[in-house]
Structure formats: C-alpha cells, structure tokens
Amino acid sequence: MFKHIKSDLPASIVVFFVALPLCLGIALASGAPLFSGLIAGIVGGIVVGALSGSKIGVSGPAAGLAAIVLVAITALGGYQNFLVAVVIGGVIQILFGILKAGVIGYYFPSSVIKGMLTGIGIIIVLKQIPHFFGYDSDPEGDWAFFQVDGENTFSEILNSINNISPGATLIAIVGLAILILWNNVLSKKGKIFQLIQGPVVAVVVGILYYVATKDHEVLGISKEHLVSVPVPDDIDSFFGQFSFPNFSAIGNPQIWITAFTIALVASLETLLCVEATDKLDPHKNVTPTNRELLAQGAGNIVSGMIGGLPITQVIVRSSANIQSGGRTKMSAIIHGFFLLISVILIPNLLNMIPLSVLAAILFIVGYKLAKPALFKVMYNLGWKQFVPFIVTILGIVFIDLLWGIGLGLAVGIVVILIKSYQNSHFLHMEESSEGKDHVKITLAEEVTFFNKGAILKELDKLPENTFLEIDVLKTRYLDNDIIEILEDFIIKAKERNIDIKLVSKRGIVENPESFVEFFKQKPKSNLSLS
C-alpha cells in the first residue's frame, strides 16, 4: 500500500483541498450541521477508502443527495431521526452488495459515461465562476441547475459579474496562473515540482495574500469569502459537534422509505462514478463493484452513527486524485486523515484559505474532464455515439446528474432499437433466368419482435411473380412474432404468385405449407425459437 506513496501523498493533499469546501458546502446546501459534511468526508476517506477495491476512487458527501437530505431532515422531524435513515440505508447497500447488484454498473454505455464526465466538468467550471470572482452567496456543492437560493447556474454567473470582489478575484487569477504554470511548465522541469503540487502552492500563496491584505479596504478578502470550518473552543466542544441517531424513531415508515431512497440513489451514483473513474484511470484498473457497494454501505453506517451525511464515491474528488497522480487507495485514506487532523489542530489556518483560490483549482479539474477535443472525438465516432453523449451532457447541466444519465441511457436504448430494426436482415435482388425477380432475404443471427416492422415492410414491397428465398442458416434465435409474419405471408404469396424457398439447417423447403409447423419440428441445429 505504501509502494506508490511518492505519488499518493501529493495527490491526497490536492484531494484534501478539493474536498474541504465541498464537504462544508454540501452540508450547508443539505440544511445539515456544517460538521456533518466533514464527518462524511473523513469517513469516506478512511473507512470507505480502506474497504473499497477501487485504487483511485474517493468517497465523501454527495451533492446529488443534497436535495433528498434537505427534504428528509424536515419530514422526519429532525437531524437525529434522519441519521437513522442513513444507517439503515447503509445496511441496505450492504444487502445490495451481497446480492451482487453491482453488476448494474457495467450496463451503462461508454458514450453516456463520457457524457457524464464531460457534463460534470462543465458544471464544475460554471459553478466555480461566481466563487472565482468572490461571489459566494450559493454554497459549494450545489450542482443543480436550479439552486436552493432560487437562482440558476447562469443567473448566478450574471450576479457574480455585478458583485466582483477585487481581492478575491486578484488572488484567484494569481492562483490560476500558478496552476497553469505548474501543470504545463514546471512539472516537466524536475521531480521537486512533481512532489510539491501546484494546488498546494496556490493555497499557500492565497493564505499569505489574505494575511498581508486583510486590513486593506479594496484588496482585502472578507471572511464570507474564506473557508469556514467550525472552530471548537476545547476538546469537549469538539466532540459536542457529533450527533447520534435517535433509534426510538425506527418504527416510522417514512424513515424506511428515506433509507431505501438514500441506498438506491447513493448506490447508483457510486456505480456510475466507479465506471467513470475506471475509464479515467491511466492504469486501467477495474473496480469490483459489489465490493464497492459493501464498502459504501459500511461507510454510511459509520457516518450515520456519528452524525455524518450520506456518502457516495464522488467523481470530482476521484478525478482530482487521478489528475494529481494518485496510484493506490492510500491517497483517499490519507486525504481522510488530513481532514480529521486539520479540523482538530488547524481549523483557524484553514479558515484563511480564500474560496476563490479553491475555485481556481476546481477550474483545472473541470477543464480536464471537459476538454473541447473530446467533443470532436465523439462527433467523429458517428451519431450513435454523439447523440447520447450530448443528451447526457445537457441533462446533467440543465437538470441534475441522475436525470442526465437517465436521458442519455434512454437515447442509447433508442439507438440500439433503431440499429436492431435496421440490421434484422440483408436483402439481395437479382433477375433470374426464368424472368422472375429473385429476391433473397438473409435473416440476422438474432431476430426479435423489434425487427417485425422492417421485415414486414420488405415482404409487403415484393412485386407479383417473384421468387423469394429466405435464408435462416445463420439465425440462432427467431422470435415467434417473426414466424407469425412469415405464416401470414404464405397466403399473400399465393395471391401474388410468389414462390418461396426456405433455406435452413433443418433442410430446404419449397413453398412451405406452414412456417409454424416447420419450426416446431425438432431442430437439427442450434436454432432457438421463442
């Protein structure tokens, strides 16, 4: 586990800086105590990181669950009642893992997963623009298009342009310049620039800038534009920030409904993230999805027991980990310890970090996920890949993650049905010596009711006095719907003077009296009939 510590340690620091504002922002957007987001981040890093089979995935509180949490806290009568649902949700996720439900993650098309990554990258950039300019009215982690404060993604950007904070914007520009310089130039100059990551330097410069200008009227950064970690007065007040579930409310049916909702949504988001991070991973590791569900379930049980938000694997943190060179699960685990140690020992130092500098770091993460070149690549792959890709992006940007994935998946299924409709058969026509048109229809390997319309259309177009050859030599599965179409066509064929020749591994039949009876015979080959 320590074999790649030289890569994992710098990556864990970057993930720590990305995770810190998101943990706090998602808690704020969820209507939960700020410390609950940090608990979820710590548990996601240490507990889930240790149990997971993913080498580069990072878990923590999920923006996609914020709306569910916000409603549930009120509906269930308080945060401690809600924690019961989190614990039960974790148990349900473990059951999902035992039942091997993780296989669902393998059934999302590549075009949809790439659209998901690109859509999230675009959202990261759009959502960080206000923070970059020092306009922090909306909490970090509110990724939905329609925000909790009544604004939307684009109106928030327009508002930020009218409310620019000079100091926050200046240090954000400096931080972004450091990141670009480090990424494109210095990282290639020596190992020291690979060991010390650009985001660390940007954050240190941001803290120094805040200290140097905090009394300046124009260039100073006010506290509402800084990270806001809860600062306990002593050890007792620190432990007083933990909450515990009220298990006396476990009989409330609404708690069980909320628990199942959390388990289902968290599991889907995790499986999607697992598929996406495996695609991003330059070393192409394959994450065991059932083990991931077990790890997430255990993490949610622990998080719920001590007052934390629900946990999922998160693409923003995971992609930051990959981009920073993380190689093993130690990166996720160490980032969890960094969160734990820092909120205990140096909360005041953390509260000197400008949010605009962290926005600059997330800009880079978002850009690498949504590189413009990817749009050209997907376009060149053809419409069957490009359309689900674009629909997924638009759904994620203008609605939310699960809606975007659902719409992309729906379009992907429609594309499959269209291609299945088109590829049911091959049609060849030639003039025969007897003067009759010779038409040969070769059926595909699998012909289902989806292909019914295409085959029926071809049969209806056949002119009178035609010789029709139907070749099912390579057909392994023939749906009963197709057999019924052929059966009905026998009557039309006689009326239109069409001769039929059926070629199959069962033999050759001229003008069969019944296709149904023919295919009911004991097969001499591996032809499967419904």
Name the strands in the sheet holding 425-431, side by side, starting at the edge strand that comes first in the sequence: 425-431, 437-443, 466-471, 499-504, 507-510
Closest CA to 513 of 500, 530, 525: 500
Q: Which pTM value belongs to this model?
A: 0.82
Structure tokens at 96: 């999902």
Residue 462 phi, psi (nearest 5): -65, 130
Fill in the amino acid letter for 299.
G
Is the predicted pLDDT of residue 51 greater than 60, yes or no? yes
Cα separation, 207 vs 209, whole angstroms: 5
Contact predicate 149/138, CB 8 Å: yes
Mean local confidence (pLDDT), 40-46: 97
The DSSP letter of residue 451 is G
- DSSP code of 146? B
Whether residue 521 has pLDDT greater than 80: no
Whether 231 contacts 351, CB under 8 Å: yes
Q: Encoding tokens for residue 69?
A: 């949490």
Does residue 98 surpass a pLDDT of 50? Answer: yes
Q: So what's the pLDDT on residue 150?
A: 81
Q: What is the overall mean pLDDT for the chain?
A: 89
CA 424 to chain centre: 33
Tell me the residue length of the chain: 530
Q: How far apart are CA 431 and CA 467, in angstroms?
A: 10
Helix (H) or strand (E) holding 500: strand 499-504
Residue 349 has what pLDDT? 95
pLDDT band for 175, please (50, 70, 90 cuts).
very high
Q: What is the structure's pLDDT at 508?
A: 86
In percent, the amount of the chain with pLDDT more than 90 equals: 61
**For residue 471, what is the enclosing H or E element?**
strand 466-471
The CA distance from 281 to 175, in Å, is 26
Block residue for tokens 């001229």:
510
- Written as one letter, the residue type at 482 is I
495 or 148, which is more confident: 495
Tell me the residue type at 136.
Answer: D
Dist. CA 519–CA 530, nearest whole Å: 10
Residue position matching structure tokens 């749906």: 479
C-alpha distances in Å from residue 285, one per residue of 5, 142, 307, 332, 444: 18, 30, 33, 16, 36
187 band by pLDDT with thresholds 50, 70 and 90:
confident
- Confirm if 230 and 54 have CB atoms less than 8 A apart: no
The per-residue pLDDT for range 223-281, each reduced to its tens digit, is: 999 999 999 878 888 888 999 999 999 999 999 999 999 999 999 999 999 999 998 99
The values of phi and psi at residue 222, to 5°, are -75, 165
Residue in 504, 530, 497 with CA at minimum distance from that of residue 518: 504
Task: Kindly state the average pLDDT of the residues 177-186.
Answer: 90
For the chain, give the longest Cα–Cα distance. Answer: 101
Q: How confident is the model at residue 530 (pLDDT cuts 50, 70, 90)?
A: very low
More confident residue, 148 or 29: 29
What confidence category does residue 364 fall into, taking pLDDT thresholds of 50, 70 and 90?
Answer: very high
Q: How far is CA 40 from CA 27, 59, 190, 374, in A?
A: 9, 9, 36, 33
Exposure string for 447-460, b = 16+ CB within 10 A, e = fewer: bbebbbebbbeebe
Amino acid code (one letter) for 423: N
Please give, one letter per residue, the 3-state secondary structure of 489-528. HHHHHHHCCCEEEEEECCEEEECCCCHHHHHHCCCCCCCE
CA 284, CA 267: separation in Å to the nearest integer?
22
- pLDDT confidence tier of residue 524, bands split at 50, 70 and 90: very low
- Better-predicted residue by pLDDT, 423 or 101: 101
pLDDT digit string (tens) for 102-139?
A: 988 888 888 999 999 999 999 999 999 999 999 998 88
CA distance 426 to 43: 57
- Better-scored residue on pLDDT, 40 or 63: 40
pLDDT one-digit tens code per residue, 282-311:
988 889 999 999 999 999 999 999 999 999
Mean pLDDT of 381-392: 93
Neighbours of 148 (CB within 10 A): 16
Where do the domains of the chain lie, and which CATH numbers do they carry? Answer: 5-379 (no CATH), 423-529 (3.30.750.24)
pLDDT at 422 > cutoff 50: yes
**Residues 6 or more apart whose Cβ sits within 8 Å of residue 367:** 121, 125
Checking if the pLDDT of 201 tops 70, the result is yes
Rounded to whole angstroms, how far apart are CA atoms 302 and 310? 10
C-alpha pair distances (Å), 252 with each of 82, 84, 189, 246, 324: 11, 10, 61, 11, 45
Structure tokens at 474: 């390579």
Give the per-residue pLDDT at 256. Answer: 97
Range from 28-42, 163-177, 410-424 carrying the lowest mean pLDDT: 410-424
d(CA 495, CA 499): 11
The strand pair at 466-471 and 311-313 is best described as unpaired
Cβ–Cβ under 8 Å, residues 329 and 54: yes
Q: Report how far residue 59's alpha carbon sits from residue 8's, in angstroms, rounded to the nearest whole number.
A: 16
pLDDT score of 80: 96
